[in-house]
Structure 1
Amino acid sequence: MMKLVFFGAGAVGASVGGWIAEKHEEVYFVDKPEIVDRLREDGVTFYQQGEEKRAVNVKVKAACDISEIEDPDVVVVSVKNYSLDPVARMLKDKVGDLPIIVALQNGVENQKILPKYFSRVLYGVICYNAWLDKPGTVGFQKRGPIVLGALDDEMKFEAKMVARVFNKGVETIVTPHIQDAAHSKIIINLTNSLTTLVGHKFREISDPALFQKLLTNLTYEGVRVVKAAGYGECKLGGMPSWMVMEMATKLPPFISKPIFDKNVKKMVVSSMAQDIIQRGGGDSELDTINGRIIELADQFGVDIPYNRAVFKMCKAEFAKPKFEPLDVRDVWAEVSKNIR
């Protein structure tokens, strides 16, 4: 039986690992001692949004050090990009290059980091929203899917083998177009910067129309950049299509507003907001998500005033000792200076 180790029991690691552990015995978690104690004692509890009373609890195995787990076949790395390099270096020292590595980060920074240490790497794109209530307790909007792939054809067999086990707990689709999937997800993740900057879900949005204008232009600029870079659209588990994102910026508000409101209603507290607002940290995925779009825009000559302004504001505000969300009207005042 394939032995899976989940390194990191945050919202993604706990949800994917918990779902698989329900049906597959050889699942282990590795995390900090206080989290491992909670996992050993209480297991992983997961519930679908709005159905807290039907939460499922799964007993799991957990360790503070991956060296305690003998001969893992697959190591699923579910830490954020900003922690990835030291984690990868440590894993290489402790488990060598024998296990298959499955990377579950947003963006494509993991494609630069992990091949420095490992020869067999698969990349998973998470196509659902999840959040951690406390260590070992995770909520989710829907159960998957995950899009899984590699950077070359040599990992086809490994991808199918891993997907077979993942599919015991969560729909997992193997794709030969992982770059398209990763960049399609980056577009969706662009919203995390703005929603964090204005404190969406933490305070009232003073001007919903401006919020809509900012958010829809952020994502449509992302679509234009990703298209210019030569990547194709990958439909990600019910998330808005590129055509919908374009129409949202071009249709009159009385038509686009109901669609926008429906999509905003689906939003949960983003992983960036969890990092910056809930945990009060200074590290976030801003550089690897929004920074990637700016990098591609520079490379392919695409004008993206909304993204540049929001990125600059986030950089300044997130670096402050205590971040306080901005009023959306103040954000718009700054962005509008960039629009020709």
Structure 2
Amino acid sequence: MIVLQDHHIAALCVFLVSSCGMTANWFITIFIRRLKSLQNPFGWLTGSQAIGEAVHNSLFCLYFVPMVFFDIEWMKEYSRHCGHVLLICYDITIYSHLFISLNRMCAIFFPLRYNRIFSYRNTMTAIVISWILAIVPSFYFYVYEDCKFLYAGDFYHFVFTTTPVCLFITWYTDFLKYVSIVVIICVLDIITVARVHFARLAMAGTTSTQSSKKRKGDEINFLKQACLQAGVFVCELITYFILEAKVQDKWSKFFLSTVAWVFVHCSDGFITIIFNREFRTVIPCACMKRSVQIGTTRESAHPPAGNMFTASSSKSRLTDSIAKNTENYEVYGANAHSSAYSRQD
């Protein structure tokens, strides 16, 4: 009879969450490059975010789980390198979220200039900046300043070394930075939703009841996505940096730190899939082993309504649509005429 010890149970708990997150985020990363409707700024930024989350979950699934389950000493000795990469992935994710929120806001507030603001070159620049901001400072903080983020077996978690400089880095460059960015993301999304909502109210008398209901549903859909994504990040920051230190039970500490950190990236991937129709339409095709090209061809044959949050159309189309009021746009979700997006430098 096999008797599971505590470290086996901890490893299995992390495996269940991280394997789901790894699958969801690699799914996004792979298929977002093959869907024509996501070849736009929203798709590129979401792909960058998904890569960070996929690597994060993969490290927990393929490094942390065997290290803890089999109690491998040499992996524990080199865990600081794994911890360093995990922190980089977390930063990539949160910076990508910020640029996605900016993308949505620009689509609503500056529709005529959207193609130029989020041109192919500018979007790629934003992605590169998010990766540079995540990678370069990390080498200063976690290598030059010798602030290690390594595995500790007391309750199966990663922990910073307790030097004075490391305590400063933990609080100011990690916790407060992350909270500030999440607050900015929330403010941007709220302003964007409010702008669209009031525009809908102003034009309520000029649209059909069915159209109004659909757009109202789109607003609620986007608001749910924004609230869920911000909510899971805020909860994880509170549990990891505040609540974990206030409890004494080993398993409570484990779930408030390690599991919470893995879960936020796992859930983020599923939220992206659930609230963006492209990914849901691809899943049946993948299950039936059909090529993604067939799926995208069908989408092109029956194109969905234009979407100002996830893609931009040509400038002439934007001008015509704005002349007919912003009511003509379906502004939530990920569906768009991506083929109309022009790569402007």
Q: Normalising by structure 2, what TM-score?
A: 0.25
> Greater CA radius of gyration, 1 or 2?
2
Higher relative contact order (Cα pairs below 8 Å, separated by 6+ residues): 2
Q: Normalising by structure 1, what TM-score?
A: 0.25
